[in-house]
Chain A
């Protein structure tokens, strides 16, 4: 996906920045490079207001901008913030949807449904049934292409837990999708 190269380039630019200077090109460049990615990450993790989550993650980053000592880790900080905020959001959504006024579960739009093929729809349906951590691990691994260490750092868990969770998540996918989709290894 090429995000590693992009992160390195952004980190160098952030390291040359003037901390705390609102709207400096470096923070702006960071925003331009990462806002879309963070919004999509929140969307994949189930947040219904992905853009708001990404915005707040950048606000938090801006508030801590002066205290950041290692600007090469800004991307990791953003990812961890988005993951945590998405958790809070999905947790809130679960509570809200238990109430009598619950809204119908998110469904794919007609356009998306038309475009997505049957396999993808089934995978997305199964992804929505996985546990929060399994879903996070799969998104970080297969969409952001993060290493085991990167996933562990983002989620605040050990690399061993990452591997085990990934394994169980893939097993669940295979089990729910059946032989026609994920049976083969």
Chain B
């Protein structure tokens, strides 16, 4: 230890000696302070508790806000159904008694222009109700004796309890009464919009013709000729709510 260090130690000891606490009095004071309510705890209660309450409220508001602004979960399959169409079979026009007719569209054949019709009919002999599609030369009426396009008419019997919302549909084909790229659908008359989806997910919006056949609304769709329709969505109104089935109404 150098002389300076020695003098420094002496100085510190001397300075420390200036303090001579009374231990008994200090111990009494210490016990008094130990019994003193903790200011920190009191301060904690006064400050932290309101802050915690505010924090809880803010968190709740934030959570509610986030729930409200969160986008509704997308439901890709909302109202979309698989499109299963029973095939339309050729029927002799003479065996059908036409009940109602709706003109669908004109289309060009190899030599002539043809007019396609959808019609409701009753099958002679069985009395079955039929939904049919036929094509006659443009300008002619759909009646007995009128020349029929190849494979026309094609029909499907209409069951007593037809499936809803889609009762039947016919997709145009080569040699059929509707050409490829056109399709006709017979749906619940309450349906206001009919969307069709191909296997790529592309949408085709069918248009309603405004006339009914056997209590069915008639929708006509125009799509690319090679399109294969696989799903559909029927909208019943602005809120797309599906009406209850008749049994539960």
Contacts and interface: CB of A to CB of B under 8 A. Distances in A.
Interface string A112-130: 1001100110011001000
Contact of B34 (A50, A62, A127): A62
Interface in A131-185: 138-139, 142-143, 170, 173-174, 177, 181-182, 184-185
Interface residues of B, number: 29
Contact of B33 (A55, A124, A170, A174): A55
B218 to A, nearest CB: 84
A110 to B, nearest CB: 13
Main SS of chain B's interface residues? helix
B34 A22 contact: yes
B247 interface: no
A106 to B, nearest CB: 11
A77 interface: no
B4 A184 contact: yes
B12 interface: yes
Main SS of chain A's interface residues? helix
Contact of A43 (B5, B19, B27, B30): B19
B38 interface: yes
B42 to A, nearest CB: 14
Interface residues of A, number: 41
Contact of B4 (A39, A54, A181): A181
B15 interface: yes
A152 to B, nearest CB: 19
Contacts of B30: 31, 35, 55, 58-59, 62
B19 A39 contact: yes
Q: B8, B10, B18, B36: which has the most chain A beta carbons within 10 Å?
A: B8
A3 to B, nearest CB: 12
A44 interface: yes
A35 B26 contact: yes
Contacts of B226: none
A39 B18 CA distance: 11
B9 A143 contact: yes
Interface in B196-212: none
B4 A173 contact: yes
Given A23-B31, A32-B23, A123 B8 contact: yes
B195 to A, nearest CB: 70
Interface in B10-38: 10-21, 23, 26-27, 29-31, 33-34, 36, 38
Given A124-B15, A182-B4, 4 more contacts: A62-B30, A123-B11, A124-B11, A184-B4
Interface of A: 22-23, 28, 31-32, 35-36, 39-41, 43-44, 50-51, 54-56, 58-59, 62-63, 112, 115-116, 119-120, 123-124, 127, 138-139, 142-143, 170, 173-174, 177, 181-182, 184-185
